[in-house]
Chain A
Amino acid sequence: MSDRLTHGEWSDAVESGELLGQTCSDCGKTQGTPKAACPHCGSRALETVELPTEGVVYTETTINVPPVGVEERGYQVAVVDLGEARVMGRLSDGEVGIGDTVEVSGFTEDDDGYVAPAFEPR
């Protein structure tokens, strides 16, 4: 049995207001999403780590033309820099810009039950 982080565990954490990532024991890089091996060096020595739930908006956009299955318009998607890793999520307050500090405020869920973290200004 491997204790390597899975999508299921990552999602359970998101639903609990937590963020999990992986740190490579060989090259030291941290990823914000689970993989079977380090995308940078190929090492399988990936340690599951708790990521900070507070970070700084690295980039963001407000989407006015959604895909089918998303009913709202004008929702904001961001990549949040958590220090050692970045993660993509929704911004629950639509007036957040690059450089603003945000914290996990919950999560969103799509039609197939896949979740993404949500953030709000701190």
Chain B
Amino acid sequence: MARAAVVGAGMTKFGVHDKPLQELFGEAALPALDDAGVEPSEIDAFYFGNAMSGQAENDTHLGPKLASHVGMAGVPVQRFEDACATSSNAFKNAVEAVDAGIHDVVLVGGVERCTPETGQDTAAMTRIFASASHRQYEQPTGLTFPGVFALFTKRHMHEYGTTEEQLAEVAVKNHGNGALNPNAHFGKETTVEEALDGPIVADPFRLMDCCPFSDGASAVVVVSDELADSYDAPVDVSGVGHATDVVPIGDKDTPHVTQAARDAAAQAYEQADTSAAEMDFAEVHDCFTGAEILASEALGLVEDGEGGPAAEAGRTARDGDVPINPSGGLKAKGHPIGATGTAQLVELTEQLRGTAGERQIDGADSAVAHNLGGDAATTVVTVMEVRQ
């Protein structure tokens, strides 16, 4: 028995959007409702994620604003904020609610704007993003989020010999996948040479190692296992793990292992009675190329230290033995913070239905999503499977 099922999915194109948050969210939520074939009146509750709209746009208390806009004023709405893991935490709570019998049909989604359309330039948005690092014990150093993952990645390079070329291979792969995704922020392929020629943001990361600032929204309709078969195209949610780690980075035992991801993955695999070896592909939180390498190891898709060589050897390509980020990932699809988690689940839903078009992973039956927040201090890992 599944914990829940996704019966509808929708997302906007990720990129630059000159429209208010509620309109952007409507462009994901209404298609998700239509995909599920449910009316707003059938929705019992709304689980919603947005990380930074108060800081970026002076726009808070979004729950009832968005519910009003999409025709479900009156439903209980809960908003989640867990940095980049925001909407996957909303999803986790939604799954728990239907699994526990509290609700039958719920809407889950996220929306965020991070581009200069918010009125915030790169330096201002870099500071807003950095608010997810420790205010007293990390931010005063001038740490940025590229810097956070650079600290993890350089230690990984020191321990295992991971190279800048291997990081560039991740960017090349994800841009290639993104070029096949009509909803991706970047639709252009790149090369290792181009990636290695870019300006340094925070070493070892160059421009092409970093995800963009994006605007966008995503949504899924989640129903209980008992109701799933009454919908046209249910996809099972078999497990959702969620763990945190110590903040700040200096107090983590071994920062580059991203322990929260390992703990969350163990929970998700156990709930689903499955293992990393059974996963046909993964959507992971590649906010930076190094983050994908760390995630591939933390999820058990490759051995520790093998993330770099696996990327270089093409093992993580769509036709490899452990395909990672067929959507293009955060790197190419884009990263509107609060929309990223549910967007990964939109990709899992489409792939497991076999409707992902040119980027379809043939015969995908099981997949895992990994959504990480802050200095790797929150991670939610979700296993979804074709409904039996």
**Which residues of A pack against B, CB within 8 Å?**
7, 11, 31-33, 39-40, 58-70, 72, 75, 77, 79, 85-90, 98-99, 108-110, 114-116
CA distance A85 to B141 in the complex (A): 18
Minimum CB distance partner of B138 in chain A: A88
Interface residues of B in 170-192 (CB under 8 A from A): none
In the complex, the answer to whether B126 meets A66 with C-beta atoms within 8 Å is: yes
Task: Tell me the number of A-to-B contacts counted with CB atoms below 8 Å.
Answer: 118
In the complex, the answer to whether B140 meets A66 with C-beta atoms within 8 Å is: no
Q: Flag whether B257 is at the interface (Cβ < 8 A).
A: no
In the complex, the answer to whether B140 meets A115 with C-beta atoms within 8 Å is: yes
Most buried by B among A31, A59, A77, A110: A59
Most buried by B among A77, A89, A98: A77
Do A63 and B154 form a contact, CB below 8 Å, given A68-B123, A110-B139, A114-B136?
no
In the complex, the answer to whether A88 meets B246 with C-beta atoms within 8 Å is: no
Additional A-B contact list (13), CB under 8 Å, known A33-B136, A65-B146: A11-B136, A58-B155, A62-B202, A63-B147, A63-B150, A65-B201, A66-B144, A77-B143, A77-B147, A88-B249, A90-B142, A99-B158, A114-B136
Which residues of chain B come closer than 8 Å to A89, judged between CB atoms? 141
CA distance A64 to B137 in the complex (A): 20
20 residue pairs of the A-B complex, CB under 8 angstroms, read A7-B136, A32-B137, A33-B248, A33-B251, A58-B155, A59-B152, A59-B255, A59-B256, A61-B151, A63-B146, A63-B201, A67-B124, A67-B142, A68-B127, A70-B142, A77-B151, A85-B250, A88-B143, A90-B141, A90-B142
Q: Flag whether B39 is at the interface (Cβ < 8 A).
A: no
Which of A7, A63, A86 touches B250 (beta carbons < 8 Å)? A86
CA distance A63 to B130 in the complex (A): 13
Interface residues of B in 120-137 (CB under 8 A from A): 121-124, 126-127, 130, 134-137
Which residues of chain B come closer than 8 Å to A69, judged between CB atoms? 127
Which residues of chain B come closer than 8 Å to A98, judged between CB atoms? 154-155, 158
Minimum CB distance partner of A60 in chain B: B154
In the complex, the answer to whether B141 meets A31 with C-beta atoms within 8 Å is: no
In the complex, the answer to whether B137 meets A88 with C-beta atoms within 8 Å is: yes
In the complex, the answer to whether A110 meets B140 with C-beta atoms within 8 Å is: yes
In the complex, the answer to whether B127 meets A33 with C-beta atoms within 8 Å is: no
Do A63 and B144 form a contact, CB below 8 Å, given A68-B124, A68-B126, A68-B127?
yes
Q: Chain B's interface: helix, strand, loop or mixed, by majority?
A: helix
Q: Mark B56-77, 1 if CB is under 8 A from A, else 0.
A: 0000000000000000000000
Which residues of chain A come closer than 8 Å to B255, judged between CB atoms? 59, 79
Q: Flag whether B200 is at the interface (Cβ < 8 A).
A: yes
In the complex, the answer to whether B202 meets A65 with C-beta atoms within 8 Å is: yes
Interchain nearest-CB distance for B59 vs A (Å)? 20
CA distance A31 to B253 in the complex (A): 10
CA distance A90 to B137 in the complex (A): 12
Minimum CB distance partner of A62 in chain B: B203
Which residues of chain A come closer than 8 Å to B248, judged between CB atoms? 33, 88
Q: Flag whether B199 is at the interface (Cβ < 8 A).
A: yes
In the complex, the answer to whether A64 meets B202 with C-beta atoms within 8 Å is: yes
Minimum CB distance partner of B154 in chain A: A59
Which residues of chain A come closer than 8 Å to B122, judged between CB atoms? 65
Interchain nearest-CB distance for A51 vs B (Å)? 11
CA distance A33 to B248 in the complex (A): 8
Which residues of chain B come closer than 8 Å to A85, judged between CB atoms? 250-251
Do A59 and B155 form a contact, CB below 8 Å, given A64-B201, A66-B126?
yes
Minimum CB distance partner of A110 in chain B: B140
CA distance A77 to B249 in the complex (A): 12
Interface residues of B in 184-234 (CB under 8 A from A): 199-204
Which residues of chain B come closer than 8 Å to A40, judged between CB atoms? 246
Which residues of chain B come closer than 8 Å to A87, judged between CB atoms? 250
Interchain nearest-CB distance for A71 vs B (Å)? 10
Do A32 and B251 form a contact, CB below 8 Å, given A61-B150, A61-B154, A77-B143?
yes
CA distance A114 to B139 in the complex (A): 9
Do A67 and B250 form a contact, CB below 8 Å, given A59-B152, A61-B154?
no
In the complex, the answer to whether A65 meets B126 with C-beta atoms within 8 Å is: yes
Which residues of chain B come closer than 8 Å to A58, judged between CB atoms? 155
Which of B136, B147, B204, B251 touches A39 (beta carbons < 8 Å)? B251
CA distance A32 to B251 in the complex (A): 6
Interchain nearest-CB distance for A109 vs B (Å)? 7
CA distance A85 to B137 in the complex (A): 14
CA distance A68 to B250 in the complex (A): 24
